[in-house]
Every structure is written in C-alpha cells, then in structure tokens.
Amino acid sequence: MATGKPRFCLNFLESSKPYFAMISLQFGYAGMNIITKVSLNQGMSHYVLVVYRHAFATAVIAPFAFFFERKAQPKITFQIFMQIFILALLGPVIDQNFYYAGLKLTSPTFACAISNILPAMTFVMALLCRMEKINMKKVRCQAKVVGTLVTVAGAMLMTLYKGPVVEMIWTKHVHTHNTNTTSNTSSGSSDKEWFIGSILLIIASLAWASLFVLQAKAIETYKNHQLSLTSLICFIGTLQAIAVTFVMEHDPSVWRIGWDMNLLAAAYAGIVTSSISYYVQGLVIKKRGPVFATAFSPLMMIIVVIMGSFILTEKIFLGGVIGAVLIVIGLYSVLWGKHKEAVESKMEEDIPMAVKVDGNAMAVIDATDFTEEKPHKVVVIGMPIPESSTKVNQETKA
C-alpha cells in the first residue's frame, strides 16, 4: 500500500503531460495573437514578421538540436527533404502569412473563432489518410464526430451571432467611456475586408491541419530527433519566407526593426509559438496523434476573448459566451473519445495472449469486439482444445 500512492501519482503525472503541454501551448498562442495584432496595427508587414519569427526560432532551437541530437541523425533522402520542405511551406509560409493577413483585417477573437475549424479539418484529413478509423457503432467514434460538430457550431455561433454586450467588472468602466472609439474602430473594417480576412483565415487553418497530418508522418523518421526536425522546419521556412517577402515587398524600409513592439512580436512568436510549440506539438502528436493535438485549439479562443477584453478593450458579446460553452462541451467530447480509444488500443496490445491448454495445445485470446460484457473469443493454434478445457474462457475472463 505504501508504494501504491506514489506509483499512482507518477502514472497520473505521466498520463497528464500531453494535456498540460497542449493547454500551455494555447496560452502561448493566445499571447501571440494579442501582441501580433498590436504590431500589425502599428504598420509592420506580416511577411517580414514571418521571416523574423522563424529566424528567432531557428537561432533558439538549433543549438539544442546540435548538442542533444547530433548523434545517429537520420539520413536526409530526397523524400525526407521534400517532407520537410512541404512542412516548412505549409507552416511558416502559407499558414502564418495567411493567418496574419486575416488577423490584420479582422480581430484576434474572430481569428481564433475561425481557427476552431482546425480539429474538424484535421479529423477529416486524418480519415482520408487512414490515420484515423471511424466506426459509428462505437460510442467513442460517435463522441469524436459529435464533439467536432459541436465545436465547429460553437465557433460559427461566435462568428455569426453577437447579441448583447456582456459587461465584465474589469471592462464596464472602459466600455462606458470609450463607446465612440470602439464603434469607430469597428466600422473601420468594411464588410469586404472582413469577408476577405475570413477566407484567408480558413486557408490558414487548412494549411495548419495539413501540417499536423504530414508532421505525423515525418515524426516516424525523426522519432528520436524532434529538435532536429523542428530546427530544419524553421530554417527552411525562414529561407522560403525571405523569398516570398522579396517578391511581395519592394520597399527596403519594411525590414527595419527597432526595440519596440515589432521586435517583441517577432521574438515572442519565434521563441514561444514556433520553436517551443513545434517541438512540444511534435511530442504530443507522436504520443497521442494529430487529432488530439488540434482538439485543444478552442481553448485559445476563450483565452483570447478574456485577454482581449483586458488589453485591447474588446467587447464580449452573449454569442461569444454561448459559443465558448459549446466549444468546451465539444472539446471534452472529442477528448473523451480519444481517451476511450487509447484505453482500447492498450487492451489490444496486451491481448491476444497465449494460454497453454493441457500442456499440448495453445489457445489465443482474440480481442475482437472486446468488452467487459462479452466473453473473449478463443482461437486454437495447433491441436484442438479438449472439451475438459472449456474453463479457459472463465480463467482468462477473470
């Protein structure tokens, strides 16, 4: 009994690591949205921001990869290089450029709401790539599908329905004295810009979902070299982003950066949401899969809503509150389905198990349709099981 509690605590902490890691990443992403929005509003080019972001990320994580993972590096074949090249194109270039452009035309809260279609996109893409299996007869599969739909519904509700303003204690005074300023700011973005921003954010989410799925494939090669994979993605992404910036920006002054919010945005995004997040995200995908990793993205929106009301004095509407509640319900539904899936997968690893019968035959317990209510199916290898040995089912069931 004395060793039972410490062992239970260790097992709990070990199983909770992926959850704590993804929740921490959402706080990091939320801070990036707020800081980046301020920087973009001050006139910084999002193309240049992407370049500096991944330059910082490469500079931070490459030394760790060199010191800790320089031995037994995987050989970079043409196929592996193309995987890394496409990962860099999807993440640092397409996803972030489109996301920043959409963020500039809309708002942090709206951008986070749109990005909550990420779990649905990832789930569908994982199904198409046969990385996820679905059987609607099983409750866990129903939970994942329904949870994904509820999550998307909550995000869409936040987008399409505002409703009355929900006054918070810390925002009531600010909103009362800045109603005119807020209304002028809201009217500054035309409906056309808002629509374009929405399309850009959807494209960014599609690229992000593709990144999750392809990263799961790349991790099979770099399973023991996560830091190296992250460094390569950030480095190649920096080169690609530089090429895109030279094509899109012709004014040399856009590269100028000082000790201001622009530098903070680039450094924070590079260190926290590129180098650290890519590495942690890769570890979680390796352990739990891409759908589990993306299932936490709705939390970022809730955090941004609260932080935005503090820092950017954004108003919180009733539609946002209801949508956030739906998103949390959908999130836990998906996580419950993934948890049940992990439990069943662990059972299937332990079963089938070989059992000797009367010393001369071997019976194998088949885990097909394994449930507590059903007796296990017994398949005989070699000699048939004597009638006197039918007690195997009872023993194995116990």
Which has the minimum average pLDDT: 28-42, 63-77, 255-269, 274-288? Answer: 274-288
At 394, which amino acid appears? Q
The answer to whether 212 and 265 are in contact (CB under 8 A) is: no
Determine the pLDDT at residue 395. 47
- Higher confidence at residue 277 or residue 57? 57
What span, in angstroms and rounded, lies between the C-alpha atoms of 30 and 306? 10
Residue the block writes with tokens 């069931």: 397
The answer to whether 364 and 344 are in contact (CB under 8 A) is: no
The answer to whether 91 and 237 are in contact (CB under 8 A) is: yes
Determine the pLDDT at residue 33. 85
Which token pair is 324?
């956030």
From 17, 60, 121, 1, select the one nearest 267 (Cα to Cα).
Answer: 60
Which token pair is 389?
């040995």
Q: Is this model's pTM higher than 0.75 or not?
A: no
- Higher confidence at residue 374 or residue 249? 249
DSSP secondary structure string for all residues of 33-87? HHHHHHHHHTT--HHHHHHHHHHHHHHHHHHHHHHHH-TTPPP--HHHHHHHHHH
Which has the minimum average pLDDT: 250-254, 266-270, 275-279, 309-313? Answer: 309-313
Torsion, Cα of 133, 302, 106, 320 (10° steps): 100
The listed range with the strongest mean pLDDT (198-207, 238-247, 274-283, 329-338) is 238-247
The answer to whether 95 and 204 are in contact (CB under 8 A) is: yes
Provide the residue ranges of all domains of the chain, joining segments of one domain with +. 18-349, 352-397
* Whether residue 80 has pLDDT greater than 70: yes
* Whether residue 118 has pLDDT greater than 50: yes
Burial track 8-26 (b if 16+ CB lie within 10 A, e otherwise)? eeeeeeeeeebeebbeebb
The mean pLDDT value for 201-219 works out to 84
What span, in angstroms and rounded, lies between the C-alpha atoms of 16 and 268? 26
Residue the block writes with tokens 């409750």: 139
The answer to whether 165 and 308 are in contact (CB under 8 A) is: no
Q: 15-25: per-residue pLDDT in tens? A: 788 888 888 88
Determine the pLDDT at residue 170. 55
Angle at 292 (CA atoms; ends 287, 293), nearest 5 degrees: 85
- Higher confidence at residue 48 or residue 182? 48
* Whether residue 227 has pLDDT greater than 60: yes
From 123, 144, 121, 112, select the one nearest 27 (Cα to Cα).
Answer: 112
CB atoms within 10 A of CB 258: 7
What span, in angstroms and rounded, lies between the C-alpha atoms of 136 and 373? 20
What span, in angstroms and rounded, lies between the C-alpha atoms of 5 and 8? 5
DSSP state of 361: E
The answer to whether 102 and 201 are in contact (CB under 8 A) is: yes
* Whether residue 381 has pLDDT greater than 50: no
Above pLDDT 90, what percent of the chain?
A: 8
Torsion, Cα of 35, 38, 328, 146 (10° steps): -110
- Higher confidence at residue 396 or residue 7? 7
Output the CA torsion sign for 87, 238, 33, 205.
negative
What span, in angstroms and rounded, lies between the C-alpha atoms of 282 and 274? 12
Determine the pLDDT at residue 185. 43
- Higher confidence at residue 289 or residue 188? 289
From 197, 184, 183, 202, select the one nearest 104 (Cα to Cα).
Answer: 197
What span, in angstroms and rounded, lies between the C-alpha atoms of 16 and 19? 5
- Higher confidence at residue 353 or residue 222? 222
Residue 240's pLDDT band (boundaries 50, 70, 90)? very high
Distances from the Cα of 64 to the Cαs of 70, 179, 243, 272, 275, in angstroms? 9, 49, 27, 15, 11
Determine the pLDDT at residue 350. 61
Which token pair is 377?
């199916």
